[in-house]
Chains A and B, each alone.
Chain A
């Protein structure tokens, strides 16, 4: 019975996803998230292929398929660059995990949530704690959200966020750990 009800709702949910996608204020009002997990959402986005391989190498795919929720600040392929290529194989598993932990924060942060917090914060910036126990600082440059790590590494949120079943994927154009 329960299954039947869920299936009956499926077309409505799909309609809502199509209609609500990209409207951040709707997302804030509990718009239906995708049924995809974070791992699947990252896997489906071709510009996050390198990140996907780092996640797999780190052994953290299961976490991103699990309960969560988490928000993954997801460096695009070009942003990961050489590091993304190097962080493969068992010898670099620990480094892969360390990199990822600096890009994951607890809970579901939509871009609208971040913008609202920055706008209401007064100081022009707000902070969130990562799974590496660091602080990410969010600010705005025009309409763009800029993320700055404690070591000064910065990135800008780009593209479309994906609200997954167990969190949110926020694509961006940089890596949140400063190299060198």
Chain B
């Protein structure tokens, strides 16, 4: 119960819920996740995770009992049975409802309005106040590789300058800026004060072997080590897609190929009944026909 409650709190922004799946909704109610406490409950998930260790292959079979009502919405079994299943699921430390904690990529990539601190808005970017400088594209060494920032997606043009990527309209109007990995988000630099982040949830900090998750920050697909006292950025701990998968929803585009980590391939092999896909520390069990996510599996064994 503690884990689930904390998990929901860590999601923080409250979306990704309410997918209309009967079993899933009930699971959330049963788990009592109404605290909405955000960061206040972060320590709650840290109880007996060690119980996962050495559990071996039995997990698949145990899960098979439970996933059917969750996905098919089979309400004929009655609420008590579902609640018992949910309790058992919590005890087994298998996240199976749509409250699974992931580190999410923001839809706009965390684009911040205006200019970074200390810089003033100019026609097509942000420059130090008083600096008289025309942005001469041909002479700017960065501009030759501006095409790389198109990987950020969205409309408009991108330019890189002094650690930030600026997004502009085709006419040059500034839409906002992004602190980027390898730019302002580099080892030794201070975390930009306006740039929002998530702390990794307990499960992912264990999965990635982080000693102290308060020393890590996630933003836009990257998990950074950051000194909590000085906000000084350290090494990059992991890259993530930041994609959300909810039980009962369709698998997002981009997970067509079997990609389960080697150590888990015997345990989670594709079959006519289920497919398995890995993303950001979790394995997702998917119905091959409907492509609906049946279960979310943590990889702590």
B238 interface residue per 8 A CB criterion: yes
A105 — nearest CB in chain B belongs to which residue? B259
Residue in A86, A121, A163 whose CB lies within 8 Å of B256: A121
A131, B240: Cβ atoms under 8 Å?
A: yes
Residue in B182, B207, B259 whose CB lies within 8 Å of A95: B182
Instruction: State how many residues of chain B have any CB contact under 8 Å with chain A.
Output: 52
A180 interface residue per 8 A CB criterion: yes
A138, B253: Cβ atoms under 8 Å?
A: no
B259, A91: Cβ atoms under 8 Å?
A: no
Q: A108-B261, A128-B257 are in contact. Are A30 and B266 (CB under 8 A)?
A: yes
B259, A106: Cβ atoms under 8 Å?
A: yes
With a cutoff of 8 Å between Cβ atoms, the chain A residues found around residue B181 in the complex are 58, 94, 97-98, 101
Interface residues of A toward B: which range?
A: 35 or more
B254 — nearest CB in chain A belongs to which residue? A129
With a cutoff of 8 Å between Cβ atoms, the chain B residues found around residue A69 in the complex are 261-262, 278
Which residues from 124 to 154 on chain B have a C-beta closer than 8 Å to any C-beta of chain A? 141-142, 144-145, 147-153
Bitwise interface map of A from 39 to 68 toward B, beta carbon under 8 Å scored 1, else 0 = 000000000000000000011101100111
Please give the distance in Å from A89's CB to the nearest CB on chain B.
10
B278, A106: Cβ atoms under 8 Å?
A: yes
Distance, CA A157 to CA B171, complexed state (A): 39
B214 interface residue per 8 A CB criterion: no
B residues apposed to A, CB below 8 Å: 105, 109, 141-142, 144-145, 147-153, 160, 163, 165, 180-183, 186-187, 207-209, 221, 235-243, 252-262, 265-266, 277-280
What are 28 A-B pairs at a CB distance below 8 A?
Answer: A58-B182, A62-B237, A66-B208, A68-B261, A69-B261, A70-B239, A86-B145, A91-B142, A93-B186, A95-B145, A95-B160, A97-B181, A97-B182, A98-B180, A106-B240, A106-B259, A107-B260, A107-B278, A121-B256, A127-B256, A128-B259, A129-B255, A132-B221, A133-B151, A134-B151, A134-B153, A135-B253, A163-B262
